[in-house]
Structure 1
Amino acid sequence: MTTFLEDVPASVMDEDPYPIFERLRKEAPVAYYPGTDQWFIARWDDNMRVGTDAENFGPSQWTVAGVGPSVLSASGEQHRWIRKGIDPLLRQRPIHEYAHQHARPLVASYLDQLAPRGEAELTSEFFELISARIVGDVLGLHGIDDETRQRWFLAIADWLNQGSIGNVEVSSELTATLDELDSALEELVAEVTKKPDGTLLSTMVHAVPDGAAPKTYEELAGSIRIIIAGGFQEPGHAAASILYGLLSNPDQYADLVASDGKLVQAAVHEGLRWLPPFSSTERVTLREVEIGGVVLPKNTELCLLIASANYDESRWENPSRYDLHRPMQAHCSFGFGVHMCAGNALGRQMEHILLEELPRRLPNLRLNPDREAKTSGFLMRGVKSLSVLWDA
C-alpha cells in the first residue's frame, strides 16, 4: 500500500496534479492516497470499467461530507426519482431551444458591455458571471443577482476542492455562506411547492411517486448545492479553459475564427478533454474486487481520475497539448454511467455559443502578455484567471 503518493503534499495536488497523474499511469495506475484515504485510478480502461460497472461499484459517500446527501451519493430508486426531477429540462431539445432564445442574447449583452474596454480578466468578469446567470435561471434563482450567485458557487467549489485533497476544515465564512444560501433557497422551494413554475427547482420538488408529498428543501439541499457548484462551474470554467487552449496556440484560434463556426464543436470537445472542469469522481467497492492487479476489499473508497484518463497515452498522442485538429474520440469529462452529468447538454451548448460570440464581439482577441493565466484546483480545476486584450 506504500506508494510515492505518501510524499505528495496537498498543495501540489491543487497547483498541478498532471505530473503526478503521468507518473501514476506509468508506475502505479491503482494507488493509495493517504490524504483522502482513497485509491486513485489513473488509466482510461480502469476508469471506464469502474465507472460503468454498477454491480461491483456504487456511489461514494464522499460528497455527503461536503454538501450533504445528494444526487451523486444516491443510488437505486432514490437516485432515479432525483434524476426524474432534473433530466427532462436538461435534455438536448429543450436545452437547444432555451440556449438560442435566452442564453445567446444574454451572452451577447454581457459581451457588448465589455467590448468598449479592450481588456478584461475574463474568468471572473465574464465566464463565471454568465454561467451563474444562465444556469441559475434554469434552476430558478429568481431575484438572486449575478454576484451573489457567483459568491455561492465559489464558496462551495472551494470547499469541495479542499476536501478533495484532504483539507476538511469548515471555515466560518463557508458556514455563513451556506446559511445564506439555505435561507434563500428555502424560500424559493416554498414558493414553487405552492405554485409550480417549470424551473428546475420546481420539477425537483414535484418529481415524486404518485400520492407522495412534494420534496422538502432539506431533501433537496445537497443536490441543489451540487447543481450550484458543478452547474455554475462547468460551462464557465470549461469555456475559459477552451479559450485559453486556443489563444495559447494563436494559429488554432485563427483557424477557429476563419471556419465560420465549423470548428466550434471540435474546439469544445478537445477543450473538455484537455482540461476537464471536474478532474475526478468517486466510487466505492460493493464487494472485494481486483483492479489493475490490486485486490481491494469491500467498502474501499475510489477516486476515478478523469483528468488522468483523458491523458492516457495509449489513447491520445501528445495528450498534454491542446490540439483543435485532433481526431475526435470519446473522453470521460462528464463522468460515467447513471451518474453522468445531467447538465452536459447545457454545458456544451453554452460553450458553443460563447465560442461563436466571442470572436464576433471582441475582435482580435489575444492573451494579455503582461498577466499570466492561472490554473488551479484538484477536483474542480480550471483557468481561474484569464487576462485578455482585444481591439475595442
Structure 2
Amino acid sequence: MTATSHDLSWLDDVTMSELERNPYPTYERLRREAPIAYVPVLGSYVASTAEACREVASSPHFEGVITPAGGRTFGHPAIIGVNGDIHAELRGMVEPQLHPSEVDTWVDDLVRPIARDYISKIEDRGHAELVGEYCEPVSVRSLGDLLGLQSVSSDKLREWFHKLNRSFTNAGVDENGEFTNPDGFTPGDEARAEIQAVVDPLIDKWIEQPENTAISHWLHDGMPPGKTREREFIYPTIYVYLLGAMQEPGHGMASTLVGLLGRPDQMEEVVDDASLIPRAVSEGMRWTSPIWSATARISTKAVTIAGVDLPANTPVILSYGSANHDTGKYDAPTEYDLHRPPLPHLAFGAGNHACAGIYYANQVMRIGLEELFEAIPNLERDTREGVEFWGWGFRGPTSLHCTWEV
C-alpha cells in the first residue's frame, strides 16, 4: 500500500499523550519519511507535509469526514464532516454573516468594546495571565454575543470550549478501533447538555420572534415563509462554533503574543506600527496553528497520494500544524519571524471545507491586539513563569504570564 522504503514500525509506539504534549517531533519525522502514513494510535492515515495536505484537501477524490472522536462529540450533521447538499445548506446557512463585506459593518463595534472591557480589568495591575484573562475571554465573548448568547458568562463559554476540546481530541484507539479512554467523552457530554439547556429556550423564542443573532439567522434564512430549520439540524454546527470558532481567535492571538515576546525587536516594531498586526497574526497562525490537526477527509475512490496507494473510503487526517512547519516551504519554520516572506499557510485549511470564518477570526485577533498594544505598549513576558503549549487537534499556549509598568 505504501511506496516508502522507511521502517515505520516506530509509529506503533506513538501515544496520544505524546502528541498532545508536543506533536512536532513525530510529525517532523513523518514529513521526512512518510508524508502520508497510518498512525495506529489515531486509527487513521495522516497527511503531514504542506503538499500532501493541500493535495488531499483540494482533491476531487476526497470529501469531508469528521474524525471518530469529533463525530462522537458533535453528532450529525456537523458542518466540518458532511458533503453534498447538506454541506451546501450548512455553508449557505453560516456564510452570509461571515462574508467580509458583512463582517466589516459590525465587527469593530462588537469586538472593540469587549477588548477594552477586559483590558480595563488588568491594565492598572501591572501583570496578568493573558490567555485566561484576555485572549480567550475576548474570543469567546465576541463569538458568544454574535451567536446570541449574551446571557452566558465568558467563564462558562470558556468552560464549554475546553470541555468540547477534551472530548473532540480524545482520539486514541486500540487495535480494534475502539476508544482507549471512553470516559474522555464525559466533559463533552456535560457541555452539550448544558448548551442545550441554555439554547433550547432561545431557539423557542427565535422561532417565534427572529432577532439579529447568528443562531436566529440559521433558523430562518433561506427557509420558506413560516418554516424554520430543525434545531437537531443546527445543533452539531453550534457545537463546532462553540469549540473551533471560539478557540481559534483566542489561541491565535495568544500564540502571536508568545512569538512576538520572544523577539523583542519585532514586538517593538508591531507596537509602534499597528499596520503590522495582520502580518504578525498571520505568522503566529503559521507558527502555532490553533486548529493543528482537527480536520479530515475520506477518499471516494482508490487514489495515490505522496506515493501511497489509498483504497476508497480511507480517512486521512490533515495535520495543518505540521504542514505549516514544512521545511520544503519555510526556512527555519520553528522560529517566529515577523519578516518571513508572506507565503500562504494552512492554518485555516484548504478546499471547500476551509474555515468559513477566516475573515472574522482575523479581525477579532487584529482588534484584540490593537487594543492591547495601545493600552499596554510596554508588555513583557514574566520570565519567572514558563510558557507551555498543549494540544494535538487544537493547540495553543496554556498560559502567558506578562508584566508591565503602570
TM-score (norm 1): 0.95
Residue type of the alignment partner of 2:53: N
Query: Which residue does 1:52 correspond to in 2?
Result: 58
**Following the alignment from structure 1 to structure 2, what is the Cα–Cα distance between the partners of residues 212 and 13?**
49
Q: What whole-Å deviation, never above 9, does each CA across 1:253-289 have from its counterpart, x for those lacking one?
A: 011112x212112101111111111012201111111
**Following the alignment from structure 2 to structure 1, what is the Cα–Cα distance between the partners of residues 117 and 206?**
29
Q: What whole-Å deviation, never above 9, does each CA across 1:313-349 have from its counterpart, x for those lacking one?
A: 1111111100001110111111111111111111100
Query: Which residue does 1:26 correspond to in 2?
Result: 32
**Following the alignment from structure 2 to structure 1, what is the Cα–Cα distance between the partners of residues 115 and 71?**
34
CA contact (8 A) 1:3 1:31 kept: no
Residue 371 of structure 1 aligns to a residue in which SS?
Answer: coil
> Is 1:99 matched up with 2:112?
no
> Is 1:67 matched up with 2:74?
yes
Alpha-carbon shift at residue 246 of structure 1 (Å): 0.2
Alpha-carbon shift at residue 99 of structure 1 (Å): 2.0
Residue type of the alignment partner of 1:36: L
Q: What whole-Å deviation, never above 9, does each CA across 1:339-389 have from its counterpart, x for those lacking one?
A: 111111111001111221112212310111111111100001001111111
Residue 338 of structure 2 aligns to a residue in which SS?
Answer: coil
Residue type of the alignment partner of 2:90: I
The one of 182, 187, 212 aligned to 2:196: 182
* Structure 2, unaligned runs of 5 or more: 3-7, 174-178
Residue 378 of structure 2 aligns to a residue in which SS?
Answer: coil
CA contact (8 A) 2:136 2:251 kept: yes
| CA distance 1:362–1:139, shift in 2 (3 Å) | same
**Following the alignment from structure 1 to structure 2, what is the Cα–Cα distance between the partners of residues 102 and 174?**
28
Alpha-carbon shift at residue 213 of structure 1 (Å): 3.3
| Number of residue-to-residue matches in the alignment | 390
The one of 86, 90, 93 aligned to 1:85: 93
The one of 119, 124, 133 aligned to 1:116: 124
**Following the alignment from structure 1 to structure 2, what is the Cα–Cα distance between the partners of residues 292 and 348?**
32
- The residue correspondences of 1:1-392 to structure 2 (distance < 5 A) are 2-53=8-59, 55-62=60-67, 63-69=70-76, 70-163=78-171, 168-170=181-183, 171-210=185-224, 213-258=227-272, 260-280=273-293, 281-392=295-406
- % identity of equivalent residues: 32
Alpha-carbon shift at residue 92 of structure 1 (Å): 0.9
Alpha-carbon shift at residue 96 of structure 1 (Å): 2.0
Residue 295 of structure 1 aligns to a residue in which SS?
Answer: strand
Alpha-carbon shift at residue 209 of structure 1 (Å): 4.9
Residue 398 of structure 2 aligns to a residue in which SS?
Answer: strand
Residue 117 of structure 1 aligns to a residue in which SS?
Answer: coil
Alpha-carbon shift at residue 98 of structure 1 (Å): 1.6
Residue 124 of structure 2 aligns to a residue in which SS?
Answer: helix
**Following the alignment from structure 2 to structure 1, what is the Cα–Cα distance between the partners of residues 91 and 266?**
38
Residue 35 of structure 1 aligns to a residue in which SS?
Answer: helix
TM-score (norm 2): 0.92
Residue type of the alignment partner of 2:103: I
Q: What whole-Å deviation, never above 9, does each CA across 1:26-60 have from its counterpart, x for those lacking one?
A: 1111110111211011111111111012x210111
**Following the alignment from structure 2 to structure 1, what is the Cα–Cα distance between the partners of residues 311 and 154?**
46
**Following the alignment from structure 1 to structure 2, what is the Cα–Cα distance between the partners of residues 364 and 21?**
36
User: How well do the aligned residues superpose, as a CA RMSD in angstroms?
Assistant: 1.7
Residue 39 of structure 1 aligns to a residue in which SS?
Answer: strand
CA contact (8 A) 1:268 1:351 kept: yes
CA contact (8 A) 1:95 1:346 kept: yes
Alpha-carbon shift at residue 228 of structure 1 (Å): 0.5
**Following the alignment from structure 1 to structure 2, what is the Cα–Cα distance between the partners of residues 324 and 104?**
24
Residue type of the alignment partner of 2:74: V
CA contact (8 A) 1:366 1:389 kept: yes
CA contact (8 A) 1:193 1:214 kept: yes
